[in-house]
Amino acid sequence: MTPFLRIASAVTFLFLGATSPAWSVCAGDDLRQSLTEAEATALDAALKDKPYPIGNHWRATKEDKVVHLIGTMHLDDPRFDTIVPGLAPIVETADLLMLEMTDTEEEQLKASLQSDPSLLILQDTSLPELMGDEDWALLSDAMRARSMPPFMAAKFQPWYVSMLLSIPTCMSLTDAESGGLDSRLESIADEAGVPKVALEPFETGFKAFASVSLDTQISMLRASLTAPDANEDLFATMLAAYFDEENAASWELSMVLAPRLSPLSETENEAIFSTMNQMLLVQRNRAWIPEILSALDGSQGHVVAAFGAAHLAGNDGVLALLEQEGFSLTRMPF
């Protein structure tokens, strides 16, 4: 799931109020069951030799320091009802809970957007000017399906609109974010009196996307203009892979399935995927390691770090980076 859903929900709260559609049933198909031979081969190649491709809960130890690493999903799901009780004691007995964004940062984000809407609003241009007529017509229909008037979407930064489009029309953005595993663990920490901190400043997402050219952002937006059924299928696939604890596959499938679902060329899709991987995962993972190490040094040595599951796997994943710091890693029940 996208790492910046809490940004999206905060923006929705400010700009859309109660206009988000109500919950309805998402019934997409798990596309892993219908991969072509070429797609299956591409997925196998992407996962080959990738460190720590599975597992949503790991324990990293070094001398007397212990950090539990929990791969989360920033969306609610009833399956968390049976998962959270097993994680609760780990959070309740921790010295500190680290999250991508706590309630404090979310309030800072809302305040920042209220004082400076230009963080998300295009200056001196609009999406109809940046997109062709056909793509703008498709986007207008997609935004109406999400209860956002096209004239409002026209002024948002392309990256934010592409984020909105990642959520299928069967799901409300604000309802979807509320109660995700991050939020559930945060509530447990609050009730137990466990301190919590953010892994990064609240404006990290804005700075990351601001570094991406408008042309690339428009390509990201065009890539999101898939048919509603296809969007729902991709969403269901990512969700199923997450609960199967296949965190690396969940991320790689978006690239593997792009030729089937995306209107862009292979070259365009590869460029976007590379940009997103570097911006959303690699750079942030590397920035988090010093924060985790500092938290361990400043506590009794028992920290829980919970963040999107896509951050766990790979050579630049949090697990491999901690291993490079001398930590031993053990997969734990989830």
pLDDT at 1: 43
pLDDT at 179: 62
For residue 111, give Cα distances in angstroms to 13, 119, 326. 12, 12, 40
Spell out the residues 6+ positions from residue 267 whose beta carbon is closer than 8 angstroms to its own: none
> Which pLDDT band holds residue 242 (cuts at 50, 70, 90)?
very high
pLDDT at 156: 92
Quick check: 85 pLDDT over 80? yes
For residue 267, give Cα distances in angstroms to 60, 258, 264. 38, 11, 8
Q: Would you call 253 exposed, middle or buried from its count of C-beta atoms within 10 A (0-12, 13-18, 19+)? A: buried
> Which pLDDT band holds residue 227 (cuts at 50, 70, 90)?
confident
Q: How far apart are CA 153 and CA 218, in angstroms?
A: 13
Helix (H) or strand (E) holding 307, with range, is: strand 302-308
Residue 74: name the closest of 332, 307, 249 by CA: 307
Helix (H) or strand (E) holding 219, with range, is: helix 214-223
Task: Write out 157-204 in H/E/C secondary structure.
Answer: CHHHHHHHHCCCCCCCHHHHHCCCHHHHHHHHHHHHCCCEEECCCCCH
pLDDT tens for residues 173-210?
555 555 689 999 999 999 999 999 999 998 888 888 88
| % of residues, the chain, pLDDT over 90 | 59
- The arithmetic mean of pLDDT across residues 144-166, rounded, is 89
Direct distance between the N- and C-terminal alpha carbons of the chain, in angstroms, rounded to an integer: 18
**Of 3-7, 154-158, 173-177, 229-233, which range is least confident?**
3-7
Asked whether 189 and 70 are in contact (CB, 8 A), the reply is no
pLDDT at 18: 37
pLDDT at 21: 39
pLDDT at 180: 85
Asked whether 52 and 151 are in contact (CB, 8 A), the reply is no
**Of 7-21, 178-192, 221-235, 258-272, which range is least confident?**
7-21
pTM for this one? 0.89
Per-chain mean pLDDT for the chain: 88
Quick check: 325 pLDDT over 80? yes
3-state class percentages of the chain: helix first, strand second, coil last, to nearest 5: 55, 10, 35
Quick check: 3 pLDDT over 60? no
Residue 279: name the closest of 218, 321, 220 by CA: 220
pLDDT tens for residues 11-30?
444 444 433 334 345 788 99
Residue 287: name the closest of 209, 204, 206 by CA: 204
> Which pLDDT band holds residue 2 (cuts at 50, 70, 90)?
very low
pLDDT tens for residues 68-81?
999 998 888 889 99
pLDDT at 172: 63
pLDDT at 176: 53
Q: How far apart are CA 129 and CA 194, in angstroms?
A: 49
Q: How far apart are CA 216 and CA 167, in angstroms?
A: 20
Sequence ranges of the domains in the chain: 32-331
pLDDT at 25: 58
**Of 38-47, 175-184, 275-284, which range is least confident?**
175-184
Rounded (10°) angle between helices 158-165 and 5-15: 100
**Of 15-24, 102-111, 146-155, 313-322, which range is least confident?**
15-24
- The arithmetic mean of pLDDT across residues 264-288, rounded, is 91
**Of 99-103, 113-117, 255-259, 283-287, which range is least confident?**
113-117
